[in-house]
Structure 1
Amino acid sequence: GRRVVALVERGAPGLRVGEPEATLGARGLEPCALALVDVRPALVLEAAGAAAAVRGVAALAAAAVAVGLAQAAFEAALRYSQQRTTFGKPLCQHQAVQLKLADMATGVTAARLLTYRAAESETSGVLDPAATAMARLHAASVAARTTLETMRIHGGYGYVSEFPVERFYRDAARLLFVPVDEETLRGDLAARLVGAR
């Protein structure tokens, strides 16, 4: 048969939605099993164009979430480093912490700019697959690095649920697999770059 992308309303007859699976992070995504039996979709699009459009939007959305997450983690690290003192001065006055903050700010800004570029890449109703892949790959990687460095700056407090830092870290880990894993996305991007797609 042909491949299509179908839009199905949540209450449609024949659609069964399983219980949300417990996940390490990004719990708001609520992944679950779907069963479709004799379902009549509200909208059906040919997969050739629709699948690419859906993948592009999903990658762009994941990049945007990763940028927001990385920004929140950076702001938490900066705020904490300004408030916490060690050896008689705020953490942010120690060169090692300053260098981490500079790297984090640079990474977040670069991820944001790549994401903006991907959002502006639309032609004929489809986002540029290479631009969205690059944005998602870089933004998720930056979110993972930034949240890890934020945990390190917080020290022991980075691991307790009293601070949002540990949740940032868990959420960033989940973004490395949304909408697909890093290796698949990198492979697709590489194929486009060398002209195989």
Structure 2
Amino acid sequence: GGLGLTEPDAGTDLQAIRTVAARDGSDYVVTGTKTWISNAIMGHCCALLVKTDPEAQPRHKGMSMLIVSKIDPETKAPLPGVSNGKKLEKLGYKGIDSGEFIFDGYRCDAELSLVGGEEGKGFAMATGGLEIGRVNIAARSVGIAKRALRESVAYAQTRKTMGKPIAEHQAIQLKLGDMAARTRAAELLVEDAARAFDAGGRVDMEAGMAKYFASETAVDVATEAMRIHGGYGYSKEYVIERLYRDAPLMCIGEGTNEMQRIIIAKQLVARNKI
């Protein structure tokens, strides 16, 4: 399954979505396009953010979440009104597909499909899900950084230049020291955000800090790892080139890092009112 939020003209600003679900008797009729949806091609089911009241003000009050499917659960036949657009080819992170959903008069049972049983709650559901999603992205970023660091430490002890392992050269030691410190700091921020989430409180600041710092760390550590490995880091003989390609997505997924810094600042001020 997947989460259908992003549209061609709506990414960070979810309230700008244009996919509409109009009530027609006991059904919703869905029209619109979603893009950059994980598992859109291979997956069958999607939690879909829609406008059930396009005229609502503020805009978020007119948004709802539906559970929709591409196939009939009994016959396994494709359902009318929904199709995939193109599969989006990515630089990295190829373990799951990313693609488009196109809805054109797609009908779904209103009672069964509406998450929570009440219209107007979709925006809160989407943003609430993004909090844990950002902790998840941050954790994956730490995984990339830790793997890149581990590979670099091992390689630096076996690769020799000027008669000694490159791990004994100060230039490499400076890189490894910085990589290790930043990776551990990112790991602790993820742990902090995860504990806050488990405690049941609002964690948009903690999740934003973890996601922002850990993803930037993943990019920097993967880049330094590639440089430590030299030409081998740029080849497919070692895992470094994959880490180098996978890391940048962490800065974009679940809300850009530019947005995370704004969220952090706003929450910082809100929590420290004078």
Give me the TM-score of the superposition, normalised by structure 1.
0.89
More helix by share: 1
Please point out which of 126, 130, 136 is paired with 1:55: 130
2:172 corresponds to 1:172:
no
2:89 corresponds to 1:35:
no
User: What CA distance in whole angstroms lies between the structure 2 residues aligned with 1:136 and 1:104?
Assistant: 17
Gaps of 5+ in 1: none
CA contact (8 A) 1:56 1:126 kept: no
Q: What is the aligned partner in structure 2 of residue 73 from structure 1?
A: 148
2:205 corresponds to 1:130:
yes
Please point out which of 37, 41, 65 is paired with 1:5: 65
CA contact (8 A) 2:64 2:114 kept: no
Distance 1:39 1:61, change over 3 A: farther
Segment drifting more, 92-101 vs 39-48: 39-48
CA contact (8 A) 1:77 1:154 kept: yes
Please point out which of 221, 235, 244 is paired with 1:146: 221
Letter in 1 for 2:232: Y
Q: What is the aligned partner in structure 1 of residue 85 from structure 2?
A: 18
Q: What is the aligned partner in structure 1 of residue 13 from structure 2?
A: none
User: What CA distance in whole angstroms lies between the structure 2 residues aligned with 1:86 and 1:164?
Assistant: 22
2:181 corresponds to 1:99:
no
Distance 1:123 1:174, change over 3 A: closer
Give me the TM-score of the superposition, normalised by structure 2.
0.65
Distance 1:127 1:91, change over 3 A: farther
Q: CA RMSD in A?
A: 2.2
User: What CA distance in whole angstroms lies between the structure 2 residues aligned with 1:67 and 1:127?
Assistant: 22
Q: What are the Cα deviations for residues 13-71 of structure 1, in whole angstroms up to 9, with x where unaligned?
A: 44433343101111224221122422346451423542232111211111111000111
Deviation at 1:191, TM superposition (A): 2.1
Letter in 1 for 2:170: Q
Q: Secondary structure at the residue paired with 2:89?
A: coil
* Structure number, greater radius of gyration: 2
Distance 1:71 1:10, change over 3 A: farther
CA contact (8 A) 1:147 1:169 kept: yes
CA contact (8 A) 2:167 2:173 kept: yes
Segment drifting more, 117-126 vs 55-64: 117-126
More strand by share: 2
Q: What are the Cα deviations for residues 61-90 of structure 1, in whole angstroms up to 9, with x where unaligned?
A: 111110001111111111110110111111
User: Identity of aligned pairs, percent?
Assistant: 33
Deviation at 1:180, TM superposition (A): 1.9
